Amino acid sequence: MTVKIEVKEGGTPHNTIMWAGLLASLVCLYLGAGLNLAFNAYTFSFFGGLAAVCAIVWGSNTIKTLCSYGIGTGVPSTGYTSFGAGVIAMLLASRVSWYLAPIVLVIVAAIIGLILGYLANNVIMMKIPVLIKSTVELVMVGALVLMGLALMTTSSYSLLSMVSTQTSLLGLPVAGHAGSFIGIAIIAVAFILGMIAVQHPFNATLGPSWQQDRMLMLAAEVGFLTMIPVAFMSIAYLSPLAVIVSIVVSVGGWFYTYNQFLCLSKRDAAAWLDAKPIREPEGH
Amino acid sequence: MVENIVIGIGLTAFAGALASVAGAAEDVESDIGSQGDPNSQVQLAPQMGYIHRIFNKAVSGEPPAYGLWVALGAGLAAAFLQVNINPILALALGCAIATLVQGIYATTAYLGRIASLAKFGQPVYIDILKSMTTVTMAHAFIAIFTAVTMCYLMNAALGHPFPLALLGLVWGIALGAAGSATGNPFYGKERQYQNQKFGAGVPVAASGNIVRYAEAGERNSLDNGWFTAKLGGPASGVCFGLIVFLELWRTVLFESFWAGWGAIFVGLILILIFTFIDRYAEVWARETFGPYAKPEGAAK
C-alpha cells in the first residue's frame, strides 16, 4: 500500500529552483576546474562537491514534482534512472575541453533524457504529464552530480584525469590507469552515493505534512554528507592540503545544514518528546 | 593445480562464513530501523490512528541502501589502499566512515518521515533516535565490514576481475536483496502482524494495525531487533551465505570446464534445484500450517 501524497501549493516555484540549481551547479564546476588550472593546484576541487550539492537540491524538488503523481514506492527508482543515464552523458562530455564540457554535458543529458522520457511516457504509456520534462531534468542532475564528484575526487573532469592517476613517485610523474577514478571504480561509489542522495530528501520527508523548505534543507544536508566520503576518497588523487580543504568545507556545510534540518523538523513535528509514552488519539 | 583448488575452496568457505554474518547483521539492522517492505505499514499506522514508537528509517529499499553502504566502505578502502595504508586498517576505516554515513541517513529519514506525519498527531520521540541509531549503526558496521572483507578476498585472493568498489556495489545490492527477501517476512508477518492469522495477508481492515504494545510497556524497535535476531537474522545469513558460497564454489571448481561455460551450466542446475526446493517448501508450509488449504474462491 502506497502513501497518498498531496500536491502542495506555495513555496518556491519549481522553475526558479531548476534555473538556480542549473546555473549554480555550472558556475561551481567552472570555478573548480578553472581555478585548479589557473593556479595549477588541487585546492579548489571542493567546488565540484558544491556543484553536486546544488544539483541535488534541484533534483530533489524535481522528484517531488514528478512523484506528486502517485509514484509512492517508485521514488528511489527515479534516482537510478537519472544516474544510469547521467553517467553516459558525463563520460561523453568528459572527452571535450574543460570549458566546453559542462555545456556539452547539459546538452547530451537533455537529449538522453528526452529519449528516455518519450519512451516511458509514450511507448510504455505511463502517461504522466510532467514525465518527459522531469526525466530531462533528472538526467541533467545525475550527470552534473557525477561530474561534480569526479571533479572533487580527481581535480578535473576530463576523461584523462578519470582514467589515469596523476601522482608522482620520487619526483617522477607516474602514469597508470589501474588506480584511477574509473580504474578502481570510484565512479561506481559516486554513482550510488549521488543516486541515494537525490532520492533521499523527498523519500524521507514524504507525507501529509510535507514542507518544501524542510525537504530542500535535507537535500543540502545529504549533498554535504555526500561530499564527506568523497573528500576522504580524494586522498588517493589530491594533495594533502586539497583533501583537508575539502573535508573542512564538507563537514562545515554538513554541520550547518544538519542543524537547520533539526530545527525545521522540530518546527513541523506534532510534538518533540523525549522518553514519553504513546499518545493515543481521540476515539481509540 | 590441486593446491590452487584447495585454497580456492578454503577461501570460498571463508567468504561464505563472512557472508552469513553479513546477512544476519543486515537483517537485524534493517528490522530495528523498520526498513524494507513492512515499513509501508509502519508508515501507514499513524494515518489509521495507531500512534507508535517504531524507528521508521526508510532510506530507500534495502538493496539500494546496502549497495551504497557496502560500495562506500569498499570504495573508501580502495582509495586508502591506493595510498598504501595497511589493508586491514583500510577496510576498517572505510567501513567506519560508511557506517557514520549510514547513521546520519537513518536519523534524517526518521525525523523527516515522522515530522511529515504531524497532521495525524504522530510525535517525534527523540529518545528513539538516541537509543536506536547507535544499535543500527553497530549492526550495520558488522554487515558492511564482513561484506567488504568478503569482496576484498574475492578481489585480492581469488583474483576476481572487478575492482573492489564495484564488487562492493554488486554484493551490497545482493546482500540487501537477500536480507529483504528472507528476513522481512519474519519482521513483517511474525512481528508487526503477529495478531493476524498465518497466511492471511493484510486485509484492508487491518491496514496500519501493527503491534505497538509489548508484553510489558510499549514495543519499540529494539524489541523487534531482539525478536528477528532469533530466526529472521540467521535465516537471512544462511540465505546470503549460501548465495556467496555456491556462487564462488561453482566458479572455483567448474570454471576450467568448457572454457568457463561449465560454471554457467552448474549455475543453471543450481537454480533448477532451488526452484524445486522452494516450490516444495511453500506448498508443504501452506498445507501444514495455513488456514487456506483450498485455492482462493473455494475458501469458506
A209 contacts in B (CB within 8 Å)?
A: 115-119
Mapped onto helix, strand or coil, the DSSP state of residue A176 is strand
ipTM, interface predicted TM-score of the complex:
0.91
Q: Do B126 and A185 touch (CB under 8 A)?
A: no
The contacts of residue A209 (CB under 8 Å, 6+ apart) are A268, B115, B116, B117, B118, B119
Q: What's the mean per-residue pLDDT of chain B?
A: 89
pLDDT per residue over A114-147, tens digit each?
A: 999 999 888 888 778 888 898 999 999 999 999 9
Backbone angles phi, psi at A172, to 5 degrees: -100, 135
Select from B176, B173, B169 the least CA-distant residue to B155: B169
Nearest to A265 among B52, B79, B115 (CB): B115
Q: Would you tell me how many other CB atoms lie within 10 Å of the CB of residue A116?
A: 20
Instruction: Read off φ and ψ for residue A273, nearest 5 degrees.
Output: -110, 150
pLDDT-derived band at B258 (thresholds 50, 70, 90) equals confident
Integer Cα distance of B245 and B250 in angstroms: 9
Residue B23: the pLDDT is 94
Residue B21 or residue B198, greater confidence:
B21
- At A2 the pLDDT is 40
User: What is d(CA A162, CA A155) in angstroms, rounded to the nearest whole number?
Assistant: 9
Average pLDDT estimate for A38-67: 92
B64 and A196 in contact by Cβ < 8 A? yes
Q: What percent of chain A has pLDDT over 90?
A: 57
Q: Confidence band (pLDDT; 50, 70, 90) for A9? A: low
pLDDT score at A129: 81
Q: Nearest by CB to B119, from A209, A218, A258: name it.
A: A209
Percentage of residues in chain B having pLDDT higher than 90? 55
Closest by Cβ to A269, choosing from B44, B80, B118:
B118
Q: How would residue A4 be classed by pLDDT, with cut points 50, 70 and 90?
A: very low
In a domain, B283, yes or no: no
Q: What percent of chain A has pLDDT over 70?
A: 90
Residue B167 lies in a domain: yes
- A169 close to B (CB below 8 A): no
Record: contact B111-A265, CB cut-off 8 A: yes
Q: Give B37→chain A minimum CA distance, Å.
A: 10
Partners of residue B169 in chain A, C-beta under 8 Å: 185, 188-189, 191-192
- Domain assignment present for residue B279? The answer is no
Task: Tell me if B290 is assigned to some domain.
Answer: no
Does residue B276 lie within any of the structural domains? no
The pLDDT of A92-110, averaged and rounded, is: 93
Q: Which pLDDT score is estimated for A173?
A: 63
Higher pLDDT, B278 or A68: B278
Residue A155 and residue A42 in contact, taking contact as beta carbons nearer than 8 Å: yes
Q: Name the residue with cell 554457467.
A: B264
A259 lies within 8 A of chain B by CB: no
Task: Collapse the DSSP code of A153 into the 3-class scheme (helix H, G, I; strand E, B; otherwise coil) and give the result.
Answer: helix
The confidence score (pLDDT) of residue A3 equals 43
For A188, which of B108, B111, B166 is closest by C-beta distance? Answer: B166
A:22-61 residues touching chain B, CB 8 A cutoff = none
Chain A residue with minimum CA distance to B114: A269
In angstroms, what separates the C-alpha of A147 from chain B's closest C-alpha? 17
Check pLDDT > 80 for residue B25: yes
A277 interface with B at CB cutoff 8 Å: yes
pLDDT at B199 over 70: no
Suggest the residue from B51, B56, B59, B60 to mutate for an interface test with chain A (most A CBs closer than 10 A): B60
Which pLDDT score is estimated for B300? 47
Whether the pLDDT of residue A74 is over 80: the answer is no
Say whether B51 and A280 touch across the interface (CB within 8 A). Answer: yes
Structurally, chain B folds into a number of domains equal to 1
pLDDT digits (tens, 9 = 90+) for B142-161: 999 999 999 999 999 888 88
Separation CA A75–CA B21 (nearest Å): 30
Res B104: pLDDT: 95
Cβ contact, residue pair A203, B58, below 8 Å: yes
Mean pLDDT score across all residues of chain A: 87
Query: Do A202 and A67 form a contact (C-beta atoms < 8 A)?
Result: yes
Alpha-carbon dihedral angle through residues B191, B195, B200, B206, given to the nearest 10 degrees: -100
What are the pLDDT digits (tens) for A144-186?
A: 999 999 999 998 888 888 888 765 555 666 667 778 888 889 9
Residue A162: what pLDDT?
85
**Residue B290 per-residue DSSP state:** -
CA separation for the pair B95, B279 (Å, rounded): 38
Burial A53-83 (b: 16+ CB within 10 A, else e): bbbbbbbbbbbbbbbbbebebebbebbbbbb
Does residue B143 form part of some domain?
yes
Which residue, among B54, B72, B129, B171, would best test binding to A if mutated, counting the most A CBs under 10 Å from its CB? B72
For residue B275, is it within any domain? no
As a dihedral over the C-alpha atoms of residue B93, residue B96, residue B97, residue B100, rounded to 10 degrees, the angle is -170
Residue to test with chain B: of A64, A195, A196, A238, most B Cβ within 10 A: A196
Contact A3 B58 (CB under 8 A): no
Whether residue B108 contacts residue A218, with contact meaning beta carbons closer than 8 Å, is answered with yes
What are the sequence ranges of the domains in chain A? Answer: 14-268
What is the rounded distance in angstroms from the CA atom of residue B59 to the CA atom of residue B82?
A: 30
Q: What pLDDT, on a 0 to 100 scale, did the predictor assign at position B233?
A: 92
